[in-house]
Amino acid sequence: MAKAPPTFSLKDQLFNAGSLGDLADEFAAGVPGFDRDAFHAAALSGIAERSLLECLDWFADCAEPYLAADFPAMAEQLEAAMPPPLDPSLRDDDFGRFIHAVPGILAVRHGLEAHRDRALDLLWVATQRFSMEFYIRAFLNRWPDETLARLKQWAEDDNYHVRRLVSEGTRPKLPWARKVDVTPAQALPLLDQLQRDPTRFVTRSVANHLNDLAKSDPDAVLARLEAWEVEARQAPDERAWMRRHALRTLIKDGHPGAMAMLGYAQDVPVEVSLDMRTPQVTLGEALAFDVTLHADQDVPALVDYRIRFARPGGKSAEKVFKLKVGQVRKGKPLVLKKLHKLKANATTFELHRGVHGVVVQVNGVDRAEGTFEIV
C-alpha cells in the first residue's frame, strides 16, 4: 500500500533548527552574555508539544533568563538584537518572520502596566520587522485613549509597516487575535487617513478591516466607502479594488446596498437556467453543472452559486462560491460551465452522502435551483 503524502505543517515550516538558529544568532549578537546554544536547544525542545502561537510564547520564555529584569533595559536589548527593518521600498506581501514576534510578547508581559510608553516605542520598532498586530491590542484594551493617540501618529509614519499596524491592530475580527475593545467611531477616523495610502499592503488591511466591520454594521461600511469616493483621495483603480475587497462578504450575502455600490442591480432582466450534468456524484469526484443566462439588453452580472450541503440529523449548511463576473450581452446567451471537486478527505468541512442542493445567485438574487446526490 502506498504511503499517504506528508501533511503540510506551517508550524514546522516556521519554527525549525534553521529559523531558531537565526533568532539565536541575533540575540547573541545584540545581548552580551546571551547563551546562543542553550537558547537554541531549549527553544527547539518545546516545539512539538505546542501550537504555533504557543511556540512564540515559549521562545520568549527561553529568551527571558538572558535579558534584563528591568523593562526599559530589556527593551534596549531587544532592539539591539533585531535584524534590519524589512525593505521599505516594497509595497506588498512583506510580512516578516514569525520568530520576530518575541519583542511584542515581552512588551505585553513586562511593559503593559508600568512602562506603557516605552513598550509602545518597542512595538513601533518591532513592527518594522514583524507585524505587532497581535500585541498592540493588549495596549488598546488597557490604555485605549493613549494607544489610539499613538496610532493616529503612526497612521502618518514614513514606514508602511507602521501604517498598516494601525489598521490591522484595530480590526474587529483579526484572525487568531484577542478581541479588541475599539469601536467603529474610534477606528474609522484612522481608516480615513489610511485609505489614501500608496501601498497595497496598507489598503488591503483597510479593506479587510471594513469587511470585518460589515458583518456587524454594513451601513457604516457603505457610508464610509461612499464618502471616500466623493473625497477621491485615492487613485480610482485602487478605490475600486478596495470597494470590491471590503464588500466581499456582503456580496456573498446578496446585500442590496453592496450590490448597488458595485453596479449590480438586483432587478436585472435576465433569465437563468441550471443544468445538473452530474445528478449523482461519487465522493471524491467533481460535480458538473452548466448555468445559462439570457437577457434582452446588455447587463452586468455577478454570478455566484451556493451549495446546500446535507448534514447529519436532517440539518444543512450552505457555502457560497464565485462563478463569474461579467456582462450578459443582448441576444447572446452566456453559458458558464463548472466542475466543483467534492473532496473526500477535506479536513475543514466533511462531506456526507445524500441529496444536496445548488442555488444560482445573480446580483444577489436566487435565480435557479437544482439538486445532486453524493453516493
**One-character DSSP codes across 36-59:** HHHHHHHHHHTSTTS-HHHHHHHH
How does pLDDT run across 146-167, given as a tens digit for each residue? 999 999 999 999 999 999 999 9
CA–CA separation, 145 vs 375, rounded Å? Answer: 58
CA–CA separation, 221 vs 172, rounded Å? Answer: 13
Is the Cα dihedral 314, 315, 321, 327 positive or negative?
positive
Q: 99-103, 341-345, 346-350, 360-364: lowest mean pLDDT where?
A: 346-350
Q: CATH 1.25.10.90 in the chain, residues?
A: 67-261
Segment 63-81 mean pLDDT:
98
Segment 270-291 mean pLDDT:
96
Could you tell me if 115 and 71 are in contact, meaning their C-beta atoms sit under 8 angstroms apart? yes
pLDDT, position 8: 64
Cα separations (Å) of 85 from 20, 93, 103, 187?
18, 15, 14, 27
pLDDT, position 2: 42
Segment 232-248 mean pLDDT:
97
Tell me which architecture the domain covering 270-374 has in CATH. Answer: Sandwich (2.60)
pLDDT, position 7: 59
Q: CATH 2.60.40.10 in the chain, residues?
A: 270-374
Average pLDDT over all residues of the chain: 94
| Amino acid in the structure at residue 26 | E
- Around 354, how many Cα atoms within 13 Å sit in the side-chain half-sphere? 14
pTM of the model: 0.85
What's the angle, vertex CA 12, arms to CA 10 and CA 15, rounded to 5?
A: 105
- Phi then psi for 250, rounded to 5 degrees? -65, -35
Segment 86-104 mean pLDDT:
90
Residue 45: pLDDT over 70: yes
**What is the percent of the chain where pLDDT is above 90?**
87
Tell me which architecture the domain covering 67-261 has in CATH. Answer: Alpha Horseshoe (1.25)
pLDDT, position 67: 98
Is the Cα dihedral 165, 168, 171, 176 positive or negative?
negative
Confidence of residue 5 (pLDDT cuts 50, 70, 90): very low
Residue 181: pLDDT over 50: yes
Segment 22-31 mean pLDDT:
98
| Amino acid in the structure at residue 335 | V
Determine the angle formed by the axes of helices 144-154 and 116-126, rounding to 10 degrees: 30
